[in-house]
């Protein structure tokens, strides 16, 4: 960390910063200029020490980090792109992985019909929410345990991995017994108690970007999962909240090349929750593949007009089929395949 002192900061104020650094076990390097003093705090960039520890001291103008607050998720630590194998499906390899299915599991027939259709059209993972975090507690909250059983049936009947969100610590054990990938929803990205428990599992965790999280905050949360021992972390860009109100969230397409540059973790895109409307989903999905995403997590429903959750943003089967066809040349243009 670099601590920049105010112009005219006193010797006592500089000594105070130095003493504080020493008390925390850090070495310092002083750069005393004619106008101002800069104190380099050596070894403090692990993310464990907050910049506020120094910013709060009298005479300090600003404190900045030299290193990123994440390490295990960074390219410097792991130069080659990570590939994550999920029950035989490789995420982060040459193939762009399509994960598709309904927002929520509503019945065995709805899930099975969707799963069969999307698998036939090229999806290699089936999604379906069993526990749904909702804005109103009176809205449909998912079929819970029954939905997990239905997902397991999809897995055993169709031989396709399934992905379903875990919303709290109590849900980890049942979800882990039934699902191949455990997503952490956008609203839980910084639920560190949940991340800590998930990091003890061997299952791949799909970490969705928080609604207002910067890429650095998102990677720092991913780092926390990695640091506790789970090395199978997949990132998912799903749009962030901006001033724009014509879409549900603004998909940050630039986060994909940024992640690819600074991290080795695979990144997939959820165009459905970003768009909020099915009509925008195909364009966003195509843009994501063109930008280098390793996969797409997309909501598909056989009858969107009857969906209990997120019908407006769900593609029906014919639209999903059209999208799959349109994705092929785009993937090919960027050296991948669907
Ligand atoms: C979901 O994938 O069903 C979901 C609720 O997504 P998010 O957490 O990104 O809003
Ligand atoms: Mn949804």
Q: Ligand 1, atom 5: nearest CA belongs to which residue?
A: 185
Distant-in-sequence, close-in-space partners of 112: CB < 8 Å, separation ≥ 6: 150, 153, 154, 157
State the residue for tokens 């875990």: 166
State the residue for tokens 């650095």: 216
- Residue 104 CA: nearest ligand 1 atom is 3
**Cα 93 to averaged position of ligand 1 atoms, centre (Å):** 24
Q: Is the CB of 129 under 6 A from ligand 1?
A: yes
State the residue for tokens 């960074």: 74
pTM comes to 0.91
Q: Ligand 1, atom 3: nearest CA belongs to which residue?
A: 103
Per-residue pLDDT band for 120 (boundaries 50, 70, 90) equals very high
What integer pLDDT is reported at residue 208 of this predicted model? 98
pLDDT tens-digit readout, 158-200: 999 999 999 999 999 999 999 999 999 999 999 999 999 999 9
Choosing from 175, 183, 237, 251 the residue with most ligand 1 atoms within 8 A of its CB, the one to mutate for a pocket test is 183
What integer pLDDT is reported at residue 316 of this predicted model? 98
Q: Ligand 1, atom 10: nearest CA belongs to which residue?
A: 186
Angle, in degrees to the nearest 10, between helices 145-158 and 108-120: 40
pLDDT tens-digit readout, 127-160: 999 999 887 888 899 999 999 999 999 999 999 9
237: phi then psi, degrees, rounded to nearest 5? -80, 125
Q: Look at domain 84-333 and name its CATH class.
A: alpha beta
326: phi then psi, degrees, rounded to nearest 5? -70, -25
Domain boundaries, the chain: 2-64, 84-333
Is the pLDDT score of 43 beyond 90?
Answer: no
**Cα 127 to averaged position of ligand 1 atoms, centre (Å):** 11
292: phi then psi, degrees, rounded to nearest 5? 110, 15
Question: With the CA atoms of 207, 213, 214 and 217 taken in that order, what torsion angle do they form, in degrees rounded to the nearest 10?
Answer: -60
For 2-64, CATH number out of 3.40.50.620, 3.40.50.300, 3.30.70.1140, 3.20.20.140 equals 3.30.70.1140
pLDDT tens-digit readout, 69-111: 899 999 999 999 999 999 999 999 999 999 999 999 999 999 9
318, with CB counted inside 10 A (0-12, 13-18, 19+), is exposed
pLDDT tens-digit readout, 281-309: 999 999 999 999 999 999 999 999 999 99
266: phi then psi, degrees, rounded to nearest 5? -65, 150
Distant-in-sequence, close-in-space partners of 62: CB < 8 Å, separation ≥ 6: 3, 4, 55
Q: Is the CB of 127 under 6 A from ligand 1?
A: no
Provide the percentage of residues in the chain whose pLDDT is more than 90. 91
């Amino acid at each position: 960390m670099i601590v920049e002192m105010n112009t005219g900061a006193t010797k006592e104020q500089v000594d105070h910063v130095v003493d504080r650094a020493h008390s925390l076990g850090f070495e310092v390097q002083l750069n005393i200029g004619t106008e101002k003093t800069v104190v380099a705090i050596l070894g403090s960039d692990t993310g464990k020490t907050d910049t506020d520890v120094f910013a709060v001291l009298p005479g300090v103008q600003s404190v900045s980090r030299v290193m990123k607050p994440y390490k295990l998720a960074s390219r410097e630590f792991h130069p080659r792109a990570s590939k994550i194998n999920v029950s035989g499906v490789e995420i982060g390899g040459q193939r762009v992985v399509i994960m598709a299915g309904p927002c929520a599991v509503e019945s065995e027939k709805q899930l099975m019909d969707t799963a069969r259709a999307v698998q036939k059209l090229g999806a290699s993972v089936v999604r379906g929410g069993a526990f749904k975090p909702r804005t109103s507690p009176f809205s449909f909250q998912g079929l819970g345990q029954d939905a997990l059983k239905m997902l397991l049936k999809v897995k055993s009947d169709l031989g396709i991995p399934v992905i379903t969100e875990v919303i709290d610590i109590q849900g980890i054990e049942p979800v882990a017994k039934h699902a191949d990938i455990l997503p952490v929803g956008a609203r839980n990205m910084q639920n560190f108690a949940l991340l800590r428990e998930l990091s003890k599992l061997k299952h791949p965790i799909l970490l969705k970007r928080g609604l207002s999280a910067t890429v650095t905050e998102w990677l720092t949360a991913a780092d926390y999962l990695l640091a506790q021992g789970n090395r199978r972390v997949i990132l998912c860009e799903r749009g962030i909240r901006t001033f724009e109100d014509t879409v549900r969230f603004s998909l940050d397409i630039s986060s994909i090349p940024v992640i690819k540059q600074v991290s080795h973790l695979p990144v997939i895109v959820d165009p459905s929750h970003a768009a909020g409307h099915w009509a925008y989903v195909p364009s966003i999905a195509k843009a994501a593949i063109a930008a280098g995403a390793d996969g797409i997590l997309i909501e598909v429903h056989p009858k969107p007009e009857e969906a209990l959750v997120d019908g407006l943003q769900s593609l029906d089967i014919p639209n999903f089929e059209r999208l799959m066809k349109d994705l092929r040349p785009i993937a090919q243009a960027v050296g991948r395949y669907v």
